[in-house]
C-alpha cells in the first residue's frame, strides 16, 4: 500500500514543522492573539443579541404584543 503524501490528512501541519522555541515573546504574542480572538467573538455575540432584541421589539410593536403575552400561561389561549 502506497501512502499519498499529497493527501491533506498525510501532510504535516506547518506549525508542527516550526523550529521556533516557545520563548517569552512568542508566548506573549500567542496570548495576545488569543485575547483578540475572544474579544472579537464576544463583540459579535453582543451585536447579534442586540439585533435579535431589536427584531423582537419590532414584532411585538407590529402585533401589539406585551411581555405578558410572551409568558407561558397554561390553560390560557392567546
**Per-residue pLDDT tens digits for 59-68:** 999 999 999 9
Determine, yes or no, domain membership for 16: no
Asked if residues 69 and 78 have their Cβ atoms less than 8 Å apart, the reply is yes
Number of domains in the chain: 1
For CA atoms 53, 58, 61, 65, the dihedral sign is negative
Domain assignment present for 2? no
Residue 11 gets which letter from DSSP?
Answer: S
Q: Are 16 and 10 in contact (CB under 8 A)?
A: no
Model-wide pTM > 0.85: no
Boundaries of domain holding 43: 22-70
Mean pLDDT calculated for residue range 33-57:
89
pLDDT tens digits, residue range 9-31?
555 555 555 667 889 999 999 99
In 3D, which of 44, 72, 69 has the Cα closest to residue 56?
Answer: 69
Residue 5 in domain? no
Is 15 a member of any domain? no
In a domain, 46, yes or no: yes
Amino acid at each position: 500500500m502506497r501512502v499519498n503524501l499529497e493527501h491533506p490528512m498525510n501532510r504535516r501541519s506547518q506549525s508542527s514543522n516550526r523550529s521556533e522555541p516557545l520563548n517569552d515573546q512568542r508566548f506573549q504574542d500567542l496570548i495576545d492573539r488569543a485575547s483578540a480572538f475572544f474579544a472579537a467573538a464576544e463583540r459579535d455575540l453582543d451585536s447579534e443579541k442586540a439585533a435579535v432584541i431589536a427584531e423582537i421589539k419590532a414584532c411585538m410593536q407590529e402585533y401589539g404584543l406585551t411581555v405578558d403575552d410572551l409568558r407561558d400561561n397554561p390553560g390560557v389561549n392567546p
